[in-house]
Amino acid sequence: MNFDFDADTEEMRAMVLGFARRELAPAPTAAGEFDAADFRRRWRLAGRQGLVGSAVPSAYGGSGLTAVAAAAMMEALGQGCPDTGFAFSVGAHLFAGLMPIVEFGTEEQKRRWLPALCSGERIAAHAITEPEAGSDALNLRAHAERRGDGYVLSGDKCFTTNAPVADVFLIQAATAPGGGFFGLTAFVVPADTPGLRVGPRHDKTGLRGSPMADVSLQGCHVPADAVLGAEGAGASVFSASMKWERTCLFAAYLGAMRRVVDATVAYAGERRQFGSAIGGFQAVSHRIVDMTLRLEAARLLLYRAADGLARGSEDEIAPALAKIAVSEAAVRVGLDAVQLLGALGVVGGGDAEALLRDALPARIFSGTNEIQRNNVARALGLGRRPAGAAARPRRPGAAARH
């Protein structure tokens, strides 16, 4: 085992950290507002730096990073960019939007969509969640009916990250309603397709820099070559994207936690009470040690999952454990930082209160932590697998089949 990055990855991390600190701070806005033009400006800058397509092969305009290097990039982005929502949008675009096209797309689809999505010219969104299908992702009501030389999509999607700014949607719909794992199909759909409508942007507790909206599909006709993978492969597309997202996207939270822990350590060394720096008080120092412990433990789990993904492991448990560990550590680190900073911790615009707000949804998206625990328990042989579910995931450490 080697816990150090190679020289190229370290150099890349330093570049991303410096770039994010210099260029990715958002323009000031009033509470609840979102500056779409400024978001696009920063997105194009990130595209020029190779960030939004980093894990895509270089043949299609990406940087060809492994999962470990892509996670390192996201960690540096999360540490350097004060807007964790922006980093989250980059991760959702890359890991839930582009990587499914890389892994399941035809050569024509890859060459048509990936270059502009990697350069920052276009933005992707993955629409699967519905009002009645959140955790129960296999029972979608949005459906796709084969008609002539294509399909007609109808239904409603909700809470779709990047929807207000997306140029391309990866949309999941049922082609065989009630067909379980093989009843879903994924489609790549341009945002300007007639019948596709994006609703108003949601105002959220956290990740405010990541635009989110509902999507309506009313008689949305797409050609047959819009199918990603094959008819009935939608659940496989989604599962593969979640492996990337639950691993690499969550590395942004590692960076955000690092930024907050470092700032808290500095504050504890400067803030004086009763004639001493508060970092000398055991109650304070032990809390900071616990913050560091949670961060480092979650980081090890995440990079273990990233290493498995890079090696082609079939293990689905490591990403689930990493997702649980990182999201719950981020919430606790945010709470601890707010407590140690006192009134400064709850003043708007501070790193501590921002981390806490941004961490709250991390326990929900990419599959709730309760669902992740169910998946891990099932892999351990606890409980019964629902009818029609996929074979149980491999346990951590199991050799991958090639």
Out of 245, 296, 316, 353, pick the active-site residue: 245
- Above 50 in pLDDT, residue 398? no
| pLDDT category of residue 345 using cuts at 50, 70 and 90 | very high
The residue from 197, 232, 267 where one domain ends is: 232
Residues 361, 262 within the same domain:
yes
Instruction: Examine residue 163 and state whether it is found in any structural domain, yes or no.
Output: yes
Q: Are residues 145 and 264 in the same domain?
A: no
- Tell me, yes or no, whether 392 lies in a domain: no
Whether pLDDT at 106 is above 80:
yes
d(CA 305, CA 283): 34
pLDDT of 140-167, one tens digit each?
999 999 999 999 999 999 999 999 999 9
Q: Say yes or no: 216 and 155 in one domain.
A: yes
- pLDDT of res. 123: 98
Are 96 and 47 found together in one domain? yes
- The whole domain housing 99 covers 7-123
Q: Does 365 lie in the same domain as 261?
A: yes
245 in catalytic set: yes
Alpha-carbon distance 348 to 337, whole Å? 14
- Alpha helix (H) ranges present in 360-400? 369-379
Reply yes or no on whether the pLDDT at 389 is more than 70.
no
- Condensed to tens digits (0 to 9), the pLDDT of residues 251-293 reads 999 999 999 999 999 999 999 999 999 999 999 999 999 999 9
Q: How many Cα atoms occupy the beta-carbon half-sphere of 195 within 13 Å?
A: 14
Is the predicted pLDDT of residue 170 greater than 60, yes or no? yes
243 lies in some domain:
no
Tell whether 240 is covered by a domain: no
Q: Is residue 244 situated within a structural domain?
A: no
Judged against a pLDDT cut of 90, whether residue 32 lies above it is answered with: no
Residue range 311-315: mean pLDDT, rounded: 90
Residues 107 and 151 in one domain: no
Is residue 138 a contact partner of residue 183, using CB atoms and an 8 Å limit?
A: yes
pLDDT of residue 340: 97
Least confidently predicted of 159-173, 183-197, 305-319: 305-319
Tokens 């149980």 -> residue: 392
Q: Look at phi and psi of residue 189 and say left if phi exceeds 0, alpha if psi is from -120 to 50, else beta.
A: beta
User: Would you state the pLDDT for residue 22?
Assistant: 97
